[in-house]
Structures are given as C-alpha cells and as structure tokens.
Amino acid sequence: MPGIIKIIEAPLKLLGEHAVECVIIGGVAATLHGSTILTNDLDVCYARNPANLERLSNALRSVHAHLRNAPPQVPFILDAETLQKGLNFTFATDVGSLDLLGEVRGLGYFADVVEGSALFQLFGYRFPVLDVAKLIIAKRTAGRAKDLIAIPELEAILQRQITNAVADHGPTDD
Amino acid sequence: MRKEDEDYFLNPPPGSAAERAVEFGIDLTLTLENLRLTPEERIRKLDDFITGVARLKASARRLGPEDAGDNQDN
C-alpha cells in the first residue's frame, strides 16, 4: 500500500501542471490544518467554467483517466463537454485515484467552496485548501460516522484559529 | 507556536471546544504535536504512519498453538 504522499503528490502535480482551478477538500485538507484523522485519498473541488473544464479534461486524458465506478465497456468520452454534463467523478488514472467534486454537499460549488480558503505550497504548486469552518460544515453534512468523529478535533482547531485571528487583527463583523 | 496555543490544547478551558473534544475521546496532545509541524511535515508524518502500518501488516503473522514453544525473540 503506497503512503499518502504517493497517493496525493502525482495527482496534485498533474493538476498543478495543467493549471486546473481546484481546492483541496476532505481528509487531506484536515491533515494540512493539523488534524490527526487518517486519510488515504485525495478529494478536490474543481471550477466548472469552460476553460477550466478544458484544462481538466486535458490533464485527465494525459494520464488515461477512466471512471472507477463504471464498467469498462461503458463508453466514456473524456472531454470538457462530458465533464460539463456530469458533476462529481471518481477516476482511476496512471498516477492514482482522483476524486473530483463539482459540488460539495453543504457548501456548494467551487466559488463557494474556495472562498476563505488558505493557500498552501505543495509539491511546487500553490493550492487553495478548504478552511476549517467549511470542513466542519462539509463533514457534518456528509454525516457518515467517519466524518462525524473528525468534527470535535476540527472544532478545537477552529476555536484556536479564531482566537489567534482576533488577537492578531481584532474582532470582525462576521 | 504560541504559549496560549499550547495551554489551550494541554489544559482545555472549561466549556471550550477543546474540552468537548477531550470528552469525545480525542487526544489533543497528538493534535498539538501536529500543530507544531509545518503543513508539509504533517503530510509526511501521516505518510510515515500509513507506510509503517502497511509494513507492519505485511510482516505480521498470526501465531498459533504450534508457535507456543518458539523463542519469542527469534
């Protein structure tokens, strides 16, 4: 079983090389913020504007992506038009698995998800990472046991982040 | 890392989210260890753990009654 770096490095480099607009969500985002929860896959939310869908489809074709949850005989043309017709995809590729979400339950589409995210430098590229408050909303909305057990620790991290932000910048109206 | 952050996770204030996390069963000393690291170091630590568990599973062998007389160090 490969480590998490192998699981996330090549897919992130692929997205970075093709300048795909996306935000890192899920367990990897939680880890980057300091959570101790375990994760073994990479989830990203991608922008659905035509130019980004073109870049994303080019990136996916370059690594022979195919749907993980569809039989091989089901025809699937990997282009921007197909991505536009779908929303959330789970791909197997030459560089590993990649889960692409057009919408995150509880948060919305890319513009809503990426708002307020922090930028992280990873493997030579800059990626927005879902902020802790939105991570909590997403996990609460998903509602599975594995999501719910992550929430108390994330809430403690969030409370500390808010306290530090107030100490550094003063209270906000939000 | 600020001293206040260390205090918050090591001695959670009454009624805080940290206190609720501890009551839930979260070991916040591990969270604090993670927060002392850079984001990239956090990923590497997770990577080391997952790789270590995989190695452990690959090398482990369940012992049966036939192993009872074996030297445990060998």
ipTM given for this complex: 0.72
The pLDDT assigned to A131 comes to 95
Task: Give the residue numbers in A contacting B (CB under 8 Å), as ranges.
Answer: 1-6, 8, 28, 31-36, 38-40, 120-122, 149, 152-153, 155-160, 163-164, 167
Average pLDDT, chain B: 84
Q: Tell me the domain boundaries of chain A.
A: 4-169
Q: Tell me the domain boundaries of chain B.
A: 3-58
- Smallest Cα distance from A137 to chain B, Å: 15
Which chain A residues are closer than 8 Å to B2 by Cβ? 164
Give the tokens for residue A25. Answer: 């969500």
Digit-coded pLDDT (tens) for A90-145: 998 888 889 999 999 999 999 999 999 999 988 889 999 999 999 999 999 999 99
Q: Are strands A22-25 and A96-101 parallel, antiparallel or unpaired?
A: unpaired
Per the CB < 8 Å rule, is B40 touching A122? yes
Closest CA to A132 of A148, A112, A156: A156
Evaluate whether A102 touches A87 at the Cβ level (below 8 Å).
yes
- Smallest Cα distance from B68 to chain A, Å: 31
Sheet order of strands, A43-46 included: A66-67, A89-93, A96-101, A43-46, A22-25, A125-129, A118-122
The pLDDT assigned to A169 comes to 81
Per the CB < 8 Å rule, is A32 touching B9? no
Per the CB < 8 Å rule, is A31 touching B42? yes
- Quote the strand ranges of A3-42, DSSP E: 22-25
Is the per-residue pLDDT at B12 higher than 90?
yes
Closest CA to A70 of A61, A62, A81, A78: A78
Which chain B residues are closer than 8 Å to A167 by Cβ? 4
CATH number for the segment(s) A4-169: 3.30.460.40
Closest CA to A102 of A40, A39, A56, A148: A56
Q: What is the mean pLDDT of residues A53-77?
A: 89
Which residue out of A4, A38, A151, A158 would a mutagenesis test of the B interface target, given it has the greatest number of B Cβ atoms within 10 Å? A4
pTM: 0.84
Is the per-residue pLDDT at B74 higher than 60?
no
Average pLDDT, chain A: 91
Nearest-Cα residue of chain A relative to residue B34:
A34
Per the CB < 8 Å rule, is B48 touching A3? yes
